[in-house]
Chains A and B, each alone.
Chain A
Amino acid sequence: MAVTEVKAELVGNLWKIVVEVGQHVEEDDTLMILESMKMEIPITTPVTGTVSEIRVKAGEVVQEGQTVAVVAPD
């Protein structure tokens, strides 16, 4: 089954990750939060499913378009 790569839409410091691998998430749930220009910017899942991979660590700088997590849709 095809998995969904969740990508960062902009450059930012990865402030925190709020889900774990194996966790079930609903569409639009926040997976992690970036910090940029004094704003907390959520990275949300476009699909409902299970988080199968987290590819970044808190404190890292993530780039626009970078895959930060993978979700296996239900």
Chain B
Amino acid sequence: MAEEETTPGLDELAAELDTRRSRAMEMGGEERIAAQHAKQKLTARERVDLLFDPGTFVELGILAHQHSPTGGPTEPDRTPADGVITGEGLIEGRRVYCAAYDFTVMAGSMGMIGEQKVARLRKRALLNRLPMVWLLDSAGARIQEAAGSTFAGSGALFYEQVQMSGVVPQVAAMLGPCAAGTAYIPGLADFVPMVKGTSSMALGGARLVKAATGEETTDHEMGGSQVHCYISGVGDLEVDDDAACIAAVREFLAYLPSNNRDSAPQRENDDPRDRRVDDIAKLVPTNPRAAYDIRKVIKRLVDDGDVLEIKPTYARNIVTALARFAGRSTGIVASQPMFKGGALDIDAADKAARFITLCDAFNIPLVFLQDVPGFIVGTEVEKQGIIRHGAKMLYAVSEATVPKVTVILRKAYGAGYYVMCGRGYEPDTLVAWPSAEISVMGPEGAVDILFPKQIAAADDPAAARAQYMATVRQTIDPYVAASWAMVDDIIDPRDTRRVIIEALQGAATKRPHRVWRKHGVRPV
């Protein structure tokens, strides 16, 4: 009789599994976790816990670890989860995929196995039409695994992100470094919040820059939030710490549908649809030279004053924000007279074009609040390519097929009126306040073009100019536009909220046809 084999029972096997799992949960170990906390950063697992509704996260690939592609030794204990926590969970009850890079494991570097995990996640996000979130805190590609010409096989991650673009929302939260080519992850994402002081992104890290060009810099100096949220426009929102960053991700996703086939989310609230904004006259002066803060107007108009401003510190002459009207997510594009008088420059056009494209891709209706003196003109902006940048905004607003509502508060001059969804750009409703000034240009510019000889020949040129100004000003009258039915109505400014909500609801079933084309030739 053969000797009886003793095999471990299931309980015993489960205990071993527990041990392996517990080891993975320890990430890079106590010391590295302490170092992470000392930098005011949370660990990848703490971030994942904050991101998802409690108890809903399901991890995939926790038992994975680094392998050497060249057959060299592997270090399972040093590389739990291979440095990236991947899985899915619920955010306000809706399923979202997440890849959280673990800086305590080989500086969150992107290794072969970890990237296979993330690739699988991207595939699932696209297959199941659900959003994808990256929590980035990574030194970049793991050079030990990637050096050499097998590099030829890499790079599909960005291709895949492009395929996901406009199908599912993509969020890249910057919670640490994101060095080298991996900076294209945020570059291709729809929303990029950045933690002040700890996050950075750059196509080449400081050490590479030094080697390549001799320039002395630091990752933070080159690619921190003070660069990307203020100057470059790559970042969408600067936040104070990790918790605020994760909260911003949740807030952003709450405004978006899970994919491009879903409607914009509807979140009920008690803010009356016909609520009058009684103090609006205090907020908006009628003197065209007097500026005001459009953000205060937006806050008064939307449901419960809740607003998520996108790129609030970049191109501040235009405001782009997500908010709700009658519970429905809505994108707002508004002139900001506080900065540059609300005139449009290249950055403002880029910012608005991108935001309009985002909203249109995800079925989020658009509201335009116009107080725009036009585009900035001159040699400087021409060198910057204001024509092609301005064209992006024309393009985006023309392509957008979501409900569009335009309100003219004060100035609606020249091409500024066009790109802010003037009559020619198919607003479903276009209304103006009695203070609206719709014109090809402001009276000051107009007199110098229309009457230069008369003014020069006058005995008192200044008085003549003032007189011609008054004449021109008389032709700028919203009731003229209304009398030609070019605007749908002149409204009492206090009723703006009600009018916007009615207009959005009126256009909710909009299904415009477009001529078939592979795609347009988008100005860039």
Residues of A within 8 A of B (CB): 9-10, 28, 37-42, 44
Contact = CB atoms under 8 A, between A and B. Distances in A.
Given A39-B290, A41-B338, 20 more contacts: A9-B293, A9-B338, A10-B316, A10-B338, A28-B282, A28-B296, A37-B340, A37-B341, A37-B343, A38-B341, A39-B289, A39-B337, A39-B341, A40-B287, A40-B289, A40-B291, A41-B337, A42-B290, A42-B291, A42-B292
A28 B284 CA distance: 11
B340 A38 contact: no
B377 interface: no
Interface string B370-414: 000000000000000000000000000000000000000000000
B293 A44 contact: yes
B35 interface: no
A28 B290 CA distance: 15
Interface string B110-154: 000000000000000000000000000000000000000000000
A28 B281 CA distance: 12
Contacts of A44: 293
Contacts of A37: 340-341, 343
Nearest to A44: B293
Given A37-B341, A39-B337, A28 B291 contact: no
Interface string B325-338: 00000000000011
B290 A40 contact: yes
Contacts of A39: 289-291, 337, 341
Nearest to A40: B290
Contact of A28 (B283, B289, B316): B283
A42 B296 CA distance: 13
B184 interface: no
B418 interface: no
B339 A10 contact: yes
A70 B257 CA distance: 43
A42 B290 CA distance: 8
Question: Main secondary structure on chain B at its contact with chain A?
Answer: loop
A28 B282 CA distance: 8
A42 B291 CA distance: 7
Of A10, A38, A39, A42, chain B has the most CB atoms within 10 Å of the CB of: A39
A40 B285 CA distance: 11
12 contacts: A10-B338, A28-B279, A28-B296, A37-B340, A37-B341, A38-B341, A39-B291, A40-B287, A40-B289, A40-B290, A40-B291, A44-B293
Q: Which 10 A-B pairs have the closest CB atoms?
A: A41-B291, A39-B341, A39-B291, A40-B290, A37-B341, A40-B289, A37-B340, A41-B338, A39-B289, A40-B291
Contacts of A10: 316, 338-339
Interface string B310-323: 00000010000000
A49 to B, nearest CB: 17
Interface string B268-298: 0000000000010011000101111100100
Contacts of B291: 39-42
A40 B340 CA distance: 11
A40 B316 CA distance: 16
A13 B344 CA distance: 22
Contacts of B316: 10
Nearest to A26: B282
**Residue among A38, A41, A42 having the largest count of chain B Cβ atoms under 10 Å:** A41
B260 to A, nearest CB: 36
A40 B291 CA distance: 5
A28 B285 CA distance: 13
A44 B279 CA distance: 15
A37 B339 CA distance: 9
Contacts of B339: 10
Contacts of B287: 40
A66 B341 CA distance: 20
Nearest to A41: B291
A44 to B, nearest CB: 7
